[in-house]
Amino acid sequence: MTTTSTPEAAEPDPTPVPGPEPTPASGSGKAPVAGSEEISATGPGTNAASPGRKFGLGAATALVMGNIIGGGIFTLPAAVAPYGTVSLLAFVVLSVAAVLLALLFGRLARRSPVTGGLYVYPRDAFGPFAGFLSAWSYWTMCWVSIAALAVGVVGYVDVLIPLGDGKVALAVVALAALWLPAAANFAGTRYVGAVQIVSTVLKFVPLLLVATIGLFFIDTDNYGPFNASGESVPGALAAAAALLLYSFLGVESAAVSAGEVRDPERTVGRASVLGTLASALVYILGTVAVFGLVPHEELVESGAPFADAVNSIAGGSWGGTVIALVAVASIVGCLNGWVLLSAQMPYAAARDGLFPKRFARVGKGGVPGFGVLATAVLGTLLIAVNYADDPDTAFRVLVLITTFTGCVPYLLSAAAQLYWLARGTRERVRPAGLVRDLIVAALSFVFSFWLIAGAGYAAVYQGVLFLFAGIPVYVWLRGRQENPGAPEAGTA
């Protein structure tokens, strides 16, 4: 491999950086450091998740797309319609920022092509506590999002099969939507990849058809005002972006699962960028089409904007049924990928002793089974809470927290890249490449910070509480790692 201006070219001298102390959970005599081969729990030079079949570029790209494009695309146009067509500008801004993050994760994956990327990057740069905070925050985001997605299936299933108002029937459907993808993950990574490809095609093709064919039926009078919010344009842009930013969570999917990707040094970056660009294309064109097909005053009140758009194109009421089928396939496929990611992050942390040891156990299919089980159980509890209370109150707050908890690992990863670039030695860096990588990392940091601010005071407040709730876990696990025979501080 030739030396380029990637983070490897900008990395410092090979002196190991301070990282996690050796622990029994890591399965080796030392913790992995940036740029080194990962030492797994199954033995030196292997990846603990390697028994399963590796993802190729197609499956990895589908994983990224499948996790980005979930159920939100079917309701987002109506959600941002009250702000006017300034929402389309917000989509463009977020799309550019998401591509920057994809490039960032591709660069970082070349340095550390291992499972749990968004945990590994801060850990290698800043030590075990930063790695733990990133892993804990991301894991929290995953299982809360999974519960939210499972609940999102219910409304679309109700279009196909009327469920009535009974909370028990609604909860059963949500639980089935959660546990079926969990079962696919228990079967192994080869089945996860297959489900991702099939579900991504099922949802991507129909959405793209609406986003392209619909452009020929647009009525410009339907778009309404550019800024319908009554706020300033920057204020409306930020408010719309705050609603839309959740739709791009998942851009990191290939980096988190790098240990299950073939040739991750090259594939992770390509899959991240391709998946993000394809998702952004669907988002922007789809929203443009829906805004132009459904009158603004109707779109604001719509519960199924894509169904209304299809009805506007073809007439009749069959559009709702078609979109409901696509939505169910989309969300189930999204759940399939998120369940895998929710297990990978704590798996990587557990191998360093920063999560309970059970999270590091890998089944025959190459998937951390306990992590999948823990996610499914926590998601089940949240679903139960959702249907025991008003779905539009407490649970909505939990969903908003995912914005904050998802952006914390982005911020720490961007900071890690800036750290590695700052430590680079002049003789090993190409100036043009260094400038490029610095721009990508700096803009990714600014974007992540902006997203955290845009989540709102309530979400940041609740998110910080969730984040700090993990500190006692870290203290306990690190305390258990200490040598009980070592002298206490201040003693001889």
Q: What is the pLDDT of residue 487?
A: 43
Confidence band for 390, pLDDT divided at 50, 70 and 90: low
pLDDT band at 452 (very low <50, low <70, confident <90, very high): confident
Taking each helix axis from N to C end, the angle separating 128-160 and 394-423, rounded to the nearest 10 degrees, works out to: 140
> Which letter does DSSP use for residue 392 in this model?
T
- H or E element in which residue 414 lies: helix 394-423
- The answer on pLDDT for 4 being more than 80 is no
- Check residue 415 and give its pLDDT: 93
Q: Band of the pLDDT at 70, cuts 50, 70, 90? A: low
Q: Is the pLDDT of residue 446 over 80?
A: yes
Per residue, the 3-state secondary structure of 182-201, as one string, reads HHHHHHCHHHHHHHHHHHHH
Instruction: Tell me the C-alpha distance between 299 and 76, whole Å.
Output: 11
Average pLDDT, the chain: 74
**Calculated CA dihedral for residues 140, 405, 250, 210, nearest 10 degrees:** 110
In the chain, the amino acid numbered 469 is A
Give the C-alpha separation, 214 to 416, whole Å. 43
The rounded distance, in Å, linking the Cα atoms of 95 and 179 is 31
Mean pLDDT of 273-283: 85
Is the model's pLDDT at 491 over the cut of 60? no
Average pLDDT over residues 438-466: 84
pLDDT at 193: 62
Say how many CA atoms lie within 13 Å of 115 toward its Cβ: 33
Contact 432, 438 (CB under 8 A): no
Distance CA 475, CA 391 (A): 35
How many Å apart are CA 332 and CA 178, to the nearest integer? 8
Q: Would you tell me how many other CB atoms lie within 10 Å of the CB of residue 475?
A: 11
Q: What is the mean pLDDT of residues 192-209?
A: 68
Q: What pLDDT is attached to residue 71? A: 62
Q: What average pLDDT does range 314-328 have in this prediction?
A: 74
pLDDT value, residue 492: 39
What global pTM score does this model have?
0.73
In angstroms, the CA 445 to CA 253 distance is 18
Residue 412 has pLDDT above 90, yes or no: yes
For position 399, what pLDDT does the model report? Answer: 66
Longest dimension (CA), the chain: 85
Residue at token pair 């998702």: 279
pLDDT at residue number 411: 92
pLDDT for residue 33? 31
How far is 209 from 159, CA to CA, in rounded Å? 21
Residue 330 has pLDDT above 50, yes or no: yes
- Contacts of residue 459, defined as CB under 8 A and 6 or more positions apart, other chains included, come to 397, 400, 401, 403, 404
The angle at the Cα of 195, spanning 54 to 303, to the nearest 5 degrees, equals 135
Q: Residue 271 pLDDT more than 90?
A: no
User: 14-52: per-residue pLDDT in tens?
Assistant: 333 343 333 333 333 223 333 333 333 333 333 434 444
User: Quick check: 428 pLDDT over 60?
Assistant: no
- The pLDDT of residue 200: 66
Examine the pLDDT at 209 and tell me if it is beyond 80.
no
Average pLDDT, integer, range 350-374: 80
Model pLDDT, residue 14: 37
pLDDT band at 316 (very low <50, low <70, confident <90, very high): low
Whole-number pLDDT of residue 17: 38
Of 81, 72, 253, the closest CA to residue 151 belongs to 72
Which residue would you say has higher pLDDT here, 58 or 140?
Answer: 140
Predicted local confidence at residue 443, as pLDDT: 93
118 has pLDDT over 90: no
| Rounded (5°) CA angle 483-485-489 | 80
Residue 105 banded pLDDT, cuts 50, 70, 90 = confident
Neighbouring CB atoms inside 10 A of 447's CB total 23
Name the residue type at position 160: L
pLDDT value of position 130: 92
Q: Which tokens is 410 given?
A: 């982005």
- The whole-number average pLDDT for the span 334-362 is 80
The tokens describing 185, both together, are 């993950």
Neighbours of 490 (CB within 10 A): 5
Whole-number pLDDT of residue 445: 92
Question: Which residues is 385 bridged to in the sheet?
Answer: none
